[in-house]
Amino acid sequence: METKPKKTIAPRVDMPCQPADVRAHNFDEVATGYTKEMAMQEASRCLQCKKPLCMKGCPVEVPIRDFIAEVARGNFDAAYRIIKTTNSLPAVCGRVCPQEHQCEGKCILNAKGQPVAIGRLERFVADSYIATSACEQVTGTNSCAMPVKGKKVACIGSGPSSLTCAGVCAANGLKVDVFEALHEPGGVLIYGIPSFRLPKNVVATEVDGLRRSGVDFHLNSVGGRTFTVDELRKEYDAVFIGVGAGLPVFLGVPGENLVGVFSANEYLTRVNLGRAYAFPEQDTPAYLGKHVTVFGAGNVAMDAARTALRMGAESVHIVYRRTKAEMPARREEVEHAEEEGVKFEMLAAPVQFNGDAEMKLTSVTLQKMELGEPDASGRRRPVPVEGATYELATDLAIVALGTRSNPILLEATEGLEKTERGYIKVDEATGETSLPNVFAGGDIVTGAATVILAMGAGRRAGQEICRRLLG
């Protein structure tokens, strides 16, 4: 009896990138994207599984198998329409989602070490479509949704969760107003993620698509100050809170008030939202350091380190209490940082910042660590090596240890139930808070997490709002 020959799987198509020695000195996007031929070649690697596990790994449940099949055929518009049935921001997700832990992590080809490059294909499809009507709805028409008379939704914040909720509601014919505290919409997509990872024009295009589908953006509107949730509840049929978690966490060590010690939030906001990389053409100045040290090992730490390098630093070190194996940052971001010249100071923790007579930072004292037993996170706990400290010269320190909930809106909203950690408590299935028809999602609910998880929360809440208001 003849056995059917096994299909030979071609190797994964590499993503073209700027050379490391070139990109380390500019803010242009590192990855330059697939060509049409490369995308179709990569899409042809998909086995078109009957039960696609990749889709279960996606927080917004993109029909991955189906859109990849269209890419393999060269039907890019059809692929885009499929993605847009569940994902409001495909050009964003294709760039910043941790696919290796989500959709690609579930791909059956992952057993061979080379899953289908789902994120890269999603980015290609979105970028290919960007020149056509940003107003196209999931129905496949080119006309924007018409508001349903008398049904209005307010979204507080304009990050990924709010943009997704707004997109779902607008696509179903609801009138949506988005209130943003800053002078530019996009939330963390604009102020937190550098343009070499997520170009500002990509975010602007996604936002413009929402505008053209009837969403209005009200900028410089601070929840809890210029308006309250109670005021919105009187005017709108439903309210969604997606204000993120922007209160930085500091180290709590001596010398942290020295000139030259920044939170990653402030540093990245100055460079990204304030466009400090273009000073003096832009008004926002940046604090420049020759020897920069970043504390933390997540994606924000990688962003801060790589940004400092592009701002002209002679040396950039990332200090982390554990080893590289325990770093939570995406593998791709760590590799890019290393290629660009960022140094990693592993098994070290800061115990004191040191300054000169003018209170300017000059160095940081580091404690050598070793790994002990696993802690609650499952990672081995870092333990100090007795008597083993040393100094690292630095004139700019950036603390990237995560964030907490910003209390301004929460303290101004009576009856809004919070968790023990200070985040908004919601019904997991619908996103509804303790206040009727007030929903929440994203980092203000979960704490600092990923863009796609925030989008998943925004989608669930948007769907529930549509069910209630439209029947």
CA 254/CA 259 separation, integer angstroms: 13
Q: Can you give the pLDDT at residue 272?
A: 95
Please give the helix or strand (H or E) that residue 440 lies within, else none. Answer: strand 438-440
Residue 229: pLDDT band with limits 50, 70, 90: very high
- pLDDT, tens digit (0-9, with 9 covering 90-100), for 90-119: 999 999 999 999 999 999 998 877 999 999
- Domains of the chain (ranges; CATH) run 20-130 (1.10.1060.10), 144-246+405-470 (3.50.50.60), 247-402 (3.50.50.60)
**Residue (of 392, 397, 390) closest to 360 by Cα position:** 397
What is the number of other CB atoms lying within 10 angstroms of the CB of residue 240? 34
Structure tokens at 443: 């980092």
Q: What is the pLDDT of residue 141?
A: 39
pTM for the predicted model, two decimal places:
0.91
ω before 407 within 30° of 0 (cis)?
no
For residue range 242-276, what is the model confidence (pLDDT) as tens digits? 999 989 999 999 999 999 999 999 999 999 999 99
Q: What is the pLDDT of residue 121?
A: 98
347 DSSP assignment: S
The number of residues in the chain equals 471
Of the candidates 195, 348, 342, the one whose C-alpha atom is nearest the C-alpha of residue 272 is 195
Backbone angles phi, psi at 350, to 5 degrees: -75, 140
64-73 vs 76-84: helix axis angle to the nearest 10?
170
pLDDT tier at 224, thresholds 50, 70, 90: very high
Question: How large is the angle between the packed helices 451-470 and 160-171, nearest 10 degrees?
Answer: 30
In 290-415, alpha helices (H): 299-310, 331-340, 407-411
Check residue 182 and give its pLDDT.
Answer: 96
Q: What is the pLDDT of residue 299?
A: 95
User: Using CA atoms, how far apart are residues 111 and 349, in angstroms rounded to an integer?
Assistant: 36
pLDDT band at 143 (very low <50, low <70, confident <90, very high): very low
Look at residue 1 and tell me whether its pLDDT is greater than 70. no
